[in-house]
């Protein structure tokens, strides 16, 4: 169909699954990182008080 990276994915579709799993885990990771940032701000505020 298409050459290059997309063509490779077309032939080895398990890598598409892998890519999609990576997208989901990075989304969850970013959300947790954001929560961690909020908790760090709370910790800092508590220490200052």
Partner 1 sequence: MCFVIVTGISFPIVLHPTSWREFPIIPGLEEKAKIIFFHVPTAWLSVVAFLMAMVYGIKYLRNKNLDDDARSSAALQLGMMFSILATITGSIWAKFNWGTFWNWDPRETSIFILLLIYGSLFALRSAIDNEDKRARLSAVYSIIAFLTVPFFIFIMPRIMLGLHPGSLEIDPTTNKVVQGTNPVVDFKMNGSMRLVFFVSLFAFTILYYWMWSVRSKAIIIKENLSKK
Instruction: Give contact residues for partner 1 (rule: CB under 8 A).
Output: 6, 9-10, 13-14, 16-17, 19-21, 23-24, 27-28, 31-32, 35, 38-39, 41-42, 45-46, 49
| H or E element at residue 4 | helix 4-11
What three-state secondary structure class fits 36? Answer: helix
DSSP class of residue 13? T
Phi/psi at 13 (5° precision): -70, -15
Q: In whole angstroms, how close is the CB of 4 to partner 1 at the nearest point? A: 14
Of 3 and 17, which has the nearer Cβ to partner 1? 17
Q: In whole angstroms, how close is the CB of 15 to partner 1 at the nearest point? A: 9
């Amino acid at each position: 169909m298409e050459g290059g990276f997309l063509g490779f994915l077309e032939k080895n579709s398990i890598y598409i699954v892998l890519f999609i799993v990576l997208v989901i885990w990075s989304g969850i990771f970013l959300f947790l990182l954001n929560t961690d940032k909020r908790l760090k701000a709370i910790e800092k505020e508590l220490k200052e008080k």
